[in-house]
Amino acid sequence: MAYWLMKSEPDELSIEGLAKLGETRWDGVRNYQARNFLRAMAVGDEFFFYHSSCPEPGIAGIGRIVAAAYPDPTALDPESPYHDPKASAEKNPWSALQVAHVETFGKVLGLGYLKQQAELAEMPLVQKGSRLSVMPVTAEQWAAVLALR
């Protein structure tokens, strides 16, 4: 099993929203490196659910991959904010996958707090310029974050 971190703006999908849904599609990733990470995910992998672009950015809980990557239908939908006019049913460069709720943390582990943790110094999330919406997390970083909740 691999570990990941996936970012979402809470007004689009929050950890509470995922908990209410139980399971949903994770779509709209429009960065090739983040898309490649999405495609590398396997059923059973877990991810930290990170709330971004909000008053309190940070890790809010845990989700699990329940279905492997498939072509992202939002790329083909002209009404979607994630529409890609260059994408077609035959050639869709974007991927989505199914995720499920695992756990909502009692408190959001804020980015500032995470940056203070020496054992997370190498985590891409806490490094300057790392803005990917999907990124890998090492087993050691996973354990360190779990110990903070």
- The pLDDT of residue 128: 85
pLDDT category, 18, cuts 50, 70, 90?
very high
What does the DSSP assignment read for 84-135? -TT--SS----EEEEEEEEEEEEEEEEHHHHHT-GGGTT-GGGSTT---SEE
Mean pLDDT, the chain, as a whole number?
96
Residue type for 95, please? S
d(CA 104, CA 76): 32
The pLDDT of residue 141 is above 80: yes
The CATH number of the domain holding residue 60 is 3.10.590.10
pLDDT at residue 130 tops 80: no
pLDDT at residue number 90: 96
Phi, psi of 134 (to 5 degrees): -140, 130
- What is the amino acid identity at position 30? R
Whole-model pTM?
Answer: 0.95
- Number of compact structural domains in the chain: 1
What does the block give as tokens for 99?
Answer: 């995720």
**Cβ(101)–Cβ(18) under 8 Å?**
yes
**Range(s) of the domain holding residue 61:** 3-148
Is residue 99 predicted with pLDDT exceeding 80?
yes
Q: How far apart are CA 37 and CA 137, in angstroms?
A: 11
The pLDDT of residue 101 is 98
